[in-house]
Amino acid sequence: MVINRSVIRGVGAYLPKKVMTNHDLAKLVDTTDEWIVARSGIRQRHIAADGENTSDLAIAAAHQALVRAKIDPVDIDLVICATATPDRTFPATAVRVQAGLGVTKGAAFDIQAVCSGFVYALTTADNFLKTGQFRRALVIGAETFSRILDWEDRSTCVLFGDGAGAVVLEAEPQHGEREDRGILATRIRSDGRYEDLLYVDGGPSSTKTVGHLRMNGREVFRHAVQKISGVIEETLVATGFAADEIDLFVPHQANQRILNGIAKKLGVAPEKIVITLDNHGNTSAASIPLALNHAFEEHLIKEGSLVLMEAMGGGFTWGAVLARW
C-alpha cells in the first residue's frame, strides 16, 4: 500500500547569545546552583536580547533547517509555529516568519499547546502532508519565556529559558510499513480540568495584560510521568514497536527527574535519552527541536534512526511522535 509519509529533511536551532547561569540567578532570587541542579538538572538558560522577538529566533532556526534540507523557502507551502509567547496577540508569529524567510505560498499559522506545542505542530503538519493538501512544511517551536516569567518567584523563574528549533518536512510516498521513513505515528491529548496547575495569569481577553507564569510544580511533576508514559505506550502499541527498539528518545526538556522517571517506567536505556536542558532549561515548544538539533550535530541521529519524541505542558496538553529519521 502506497501512502504519503512526512520525512524530516532538515533540522535547525537558535539560542540567544546572552547566557544566565544558576549563579547569576542566585543574585536575583533566594536560590542556589546546588538546589536548581539537584531539583531540575538545569545549569544555565539563554535569554533573548531587548528587541529580539520570538519570530527572530524562529527565523534563525528555520533558516538553518532549510539550508540543511537544501530546500528553497519558495518551495515551502506550510509554516506552523508552536509558541505560547507570540510577538503580538495577532497576527500569528508564523506569518511573520513566513515573510521573514520569503515564503509566499500556502498557509502559515501558530499552534498554542505550550510545552507540547511542537508535538501538536508536527501532528498537524503530518496530517496535512499525508492528505496531500501541502507538500513541504516548516514546523517550528520558538519561545521567549523570559518575557512571561515572574523574576521574583524562585519556584518558576529558575526553570525556563528562550530558544527556537525547526524541522523541514516533505511528503514522500512510502510503503505503509513500520520500516518506512518519516513520521510513523502521532498521539495528542489534553485535559482542561488541570488548567490551574500551570497557567499564565494574564491575557488580552481576561486582564488586557500579558501576565506571568504560575505553576504548582509538585502537582505538575506528579501528572507528568504518568501522562507521558501512557501516551508513549499508546504510540508504541499503535506501531508494534517495543521500547527497546527505539534508537533515540528525544523528550521535551522540562526536568531531569521527570525524564529519569519516564525512562525507568518504560525501560528506556539512559544512554538513548537526549538531554539538553542543562544548557538551556525548559524552552517550552522549542525544547524538542533544540534537542533534535543537538542529536543531529553530535551525530547521535542518522538516516534510519527510530526517534521517539514526547511532551507535556499547560492545559494540560501532552503527546508523542514516533518517526524514522
- Residue partners of 44: CB distance under 8 A and separation at least 6: 19, 20, 21, 22, 278, 279, 280, 281
Active site residue 115: yes
User: Which of 220, 231, 259, 309 forms a contact with ligand ACO (CB under 6 A)?
Assistant: 220
Q: Out of 4, 22, 46, 115, which one is annotated catalytic? A: 115
Handedness of CA 293, 295, 301, 306 (dihedral sign): negative
Binding mask 10-49 for ligand ACO (x = CB under 6 A): ---------------------x---xx--xx---------
Q: Which CB, 154 or 214, lies closer to ligand ACO? A: 154
Q: Which CB, 96 or 227, lies closer to ligand ACO? A: 227
Is residue 155 within the footprint of ligand ACO (CB under 6 A)?
yes
- Whether residue 114 contacts residue 65, with contact meaning beta carbons closer than 8 Å, is answered with no
Is residue 115 within the footprint of ligand ACO (CB under 6 A)?
yes
Determine the Cα–Cα distance for residues 149 and 96; give it in Å rounded to an integer: 24
Is residue 272 within the footprint of ligand ACO (CB under 6 A)?
no
Q: Which CB, 135 or 189, lies closer to ligand ACO? A: 189
CB 182 to ligand ACO: min, Å: 26
Active site residue 282: yes
Active site residue 252: yes
User: Which of 211, 217, 230, 261 forms a contact with ligand ACO (CB under 6 A)?
Assistant: 217
Determine the Cα–Cα distance for residues 30 and 230; give it in Å rounded to an integer: 36
Q: Out of 22, 53, 279, 282, which one is annotated catalytic? A: 282
Q: Out of 63, 252, 280, 294, which one is annotated catalytic? A: 252
Is residue 218 within the footprint of ligand ACO (CB under 6 A)?
yes
- Classify residue 184 as left (phi > 0), alpha (psi -120 to 50) or beta: alpha
Rg (alpha carbons) of the chain, rounded to whole number: 18
The piece of 96-104, 135-143, 171-179, 253-261 that touches ligand ACO (CB under 6 A) is: 253-261
Q: Which CB, 21 or 104, lies closer to ligand ACO? A: 21
CB 160 to ligand ACO: min, Å: 8
User: Which of 93, 282, 283, 293 forms a contact with ligand ACO (CB under 6 A)?
Assistant: 282
User: Which of 10, 281, 313, 319 forms a contact with ligand ACO (CB under 6 A)?
Assistant: 313
Determine the Cα–Cα distance for residues 119 and 311; give it in Å rounded to an integer: 7
Determine the Cα–Cα distance for residues 147 and 158; give it in Å rounded to an integer: 13
Determine the Cα–Cα distance for residues 121 and 118; give it in Å rounded to an integer: 5
Is residue 127 within the footprint of ligand ACO (CB under 6 A)?
no
- Whether residue 111 contacts residue 117, with contact meaning beta carbons closer than 8 Å, is answered with yes
* Strand duo 78-82 + 107-111: pairing: parallel
Quick count: other Cβ atoms within 10 Å of Cβ 214? 16
CB 117 to ligand ACO: min, Å: 11
Is residue 224 within the footprint of ligand ACO (CB under 6 A)?
yes
Is residue 312 within the footprint of ligand ACO (CB under 6 A)?
yes
Of all residues in the shown chain, the one whose CB is closest to ligand ACO is: 217
Contacting positions for ligand ACO (CB under 6 A): 31, 35-36, 39-40, 115, 154-155, 158-159, 198, 215, 217-218, 220-221, 224, 252, 254-255, 258, 282, 312-313
Catalytic residues: 115, 252, 282
